[in-house]
Each structure stands twice: as structure tokens, then as C-alpha cells.
């Protein structure tokens, strides 16, 4: 994210506080991945490409945020040589439903 021009403030948060934050943001376990961030009024969960975050901030849809469930190989931070698994970035809607925001690979 820093390489894409985002100012990043990383914090270690105790597990209880982290789960409370996720619950408050409307993140359910099925949308899970390893990293949770917030940008503007949105959450960003998992290995979401910076281009998707920039698009989210440009379009400003009525939604809770973006997620890439799991840790797909080839997603940002999960590079493994030339291997690239296809993955989707999901837009999490206000009611908790999802729709594909971007397809990768």
C-alpha cells in the first residue's frame, strides 16, 4: 500500500479488540483473511490490490468495504515466483452480502 502512495499506520491489536473492531465493521468469519485495515469509511480485509482500493475510493459505492478471502498466491504480499492463482476482490455491501468488485488472474 505504501508503494501505491497510501500512508500506512500499522498497529498490533489484542485479539479481543481486533474481533470487536471486525464485528463493528460488519466483517463476518466467511470473509476472513489475515489483515484488516480501514481507509475512509471502508474496511479492507486481506490481500486486496492497491488498484482496487484506489477504485473504491474513486467510485465511493454504498458498501462496507473490500475483501479477498483466504490468501491466494500471487495476491499482494503472497507472491511466489511466477505462480499466480486467480482470485476475486469482493465488495461487501451494507447488508453483508457480497458482489465481485474485481477479478484478478
Q: pLDDT per residue over 48-101, tens digit each?
A: 999 999 999 999 999 999 999 887 766 776 678 888 889 899 999 999 899 999
Q: Is the pLDDT of residue 27 over 80?
A: no
DSSP letter (8 states) at residue 31: G
At 73 the pLDDT is: 67
In angstroms, rounded to a whole number, what is the distance separating the alpha carbons of residues 24 and 36?
13
CB 76 within 8 A of CB 6: no
Burial (CB count <10 Å: 0-12, 13-18, 19+), residue 83: exposed
Handedness of CA 29, 31, 33, 37 (dihedral sign): negative
- Write out the H or E segment, with its range, that includes residue 43: strand 42-46
In angstroms, rounded to a whole number, what is the distance separating the alpha carbons of residues 8 and 11?
10
Amino acid at each position: 500500500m505504501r508503494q501505491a502512495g497510501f500512508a500506512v499506520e500499522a498497529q498490533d491489536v489484542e485479539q479481543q479488540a481486533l474481533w470487536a473492531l471486525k464485528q463493528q465493521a460488519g466483517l463476518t468469519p466467511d470473509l476472513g483473511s489475515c489483515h484488516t485495515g480501514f481507509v475512509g469509511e471502508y474496511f479492507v480485509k486481506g490481500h486486496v490490490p492497491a488498484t482496487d482500493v484506489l477504485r473504491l475510493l474513486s467510485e465511493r459505492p454504498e458498501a462496507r468495504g473490500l475483501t479477498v478471502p483466504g490468501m491466494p498466491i500471487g495476491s499482494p504480499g503472497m507472491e511466489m515466483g511466477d505462480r499466480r492463482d486467480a482470485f476475486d476482490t469482493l465488495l461487501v455491501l451494507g447488508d453483508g452480502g457480497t458482489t465481485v468488485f474485481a477479478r484478478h488472474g
